[in-house]
């Protein structure tokens, strides 16, 4: 039996494929009305307020730093999950469950990461303030990105992204944490990196960490 195809083409965005769901895209806020913006000062003020709210455990105050329909995209910072909370009520409810955040700081490690006033959408129609952050939690530290939009003369968070990068006590040995290759100077028992790695592999100066799985009977005999 021959299949007759319709001569009218239907765009893929208008077709509903089996098992698919059409997700309504989010809306961007209005562009900033201010003509002169000090991005550094705006970012510093928001971070200062955020840290004060964290110290006071005022999660309602933190939620009010967002736009009414603001977003918090979190990767493993607030929980062992990847989650996006939309709106002040959802953000507040999630913070009330658990908020391990302790302090937040501006990341000015490069000009690209420093606060800047400019487009915060993909088309350049909406202007706001964007900057990068670093933060500490009770178990680790991480990085994030903040985008602010102006609403009634006040700057509020449109999107906040946080991502846990390291666990305390298990930081990646990079930069100044790297193992030194050679110890210069008069050290009687000095070793280079290869010597230390060899001694570590042979457990010369310490015992290996072991896990014993199973249950020992109180009547069993063992050495």
The predicted-structure confidence for 105-144, as pLDDT tens digits, reads as follows: 999 999 999 999 999 998 999 999 999 999 999 999 999 9
How far is residue 160's CA from residue 192's CA, in Å, rounded to a whole number? 45
Global pTM reads: 0.74
Provide the pLDDT confidence category of residue 223 given band limits of 50, 70 and 90. Answer: very low
Give alpha helix (H) positions in the chain: 39-56, 59-63, 88-97, 193-201
Q: Where are the domains of the chain?
A: 39-167
Average pLDDT score over residue span 89-115 = 95
Q: What is the CATH number of domain 39-167?
A: 3.10.450.50
């Amino acid at each position: 039996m021959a299949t007759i195809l319709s001569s009218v083409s239907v765009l893929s965005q208008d077709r509903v494929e089996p098992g698919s769901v059409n997700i309504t895209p989010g809306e961007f806020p209005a562009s900033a009305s201010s003509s002169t913006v000090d991005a550094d000062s705006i970012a510093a003020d928001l971070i200062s307020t955020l840290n004060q709210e964290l110290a006071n455990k005022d999660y309602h105050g933190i939620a009010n730093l967002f736009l009414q329909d603001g977003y918090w995209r979190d990767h493993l910072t607030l929980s062992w999950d990847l989650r996006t909370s939309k709106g002040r009520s959802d953000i507040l409810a999630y913070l009330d469950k658990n908020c391990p955040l302790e302090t937040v700081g501006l990341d000015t490690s490069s000009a690209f990461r420093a606060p800047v006033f400019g487009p915060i959408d993909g088309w350049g129609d909406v202007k706001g303030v964007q900057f990068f952050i670093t933060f500490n939690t009770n178990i680790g530290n991480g990085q994030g990105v903040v985008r602010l939009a102006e609403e009634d003369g006040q700057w509020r968070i449109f999107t906040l992204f946080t991502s846990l990068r390291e666990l305390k006590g298990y930081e990646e040995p990079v930069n100044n944490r790297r193992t030194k290759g050679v110890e210069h100077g008069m050290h009687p028992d000095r070793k280079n990196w290869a010597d230390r790695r060899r001694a570590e592999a042979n457990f010369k100066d310490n015992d290996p960490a072991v896990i014993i799985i199973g249950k020992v009977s109180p009547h069993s005999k063992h050495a």
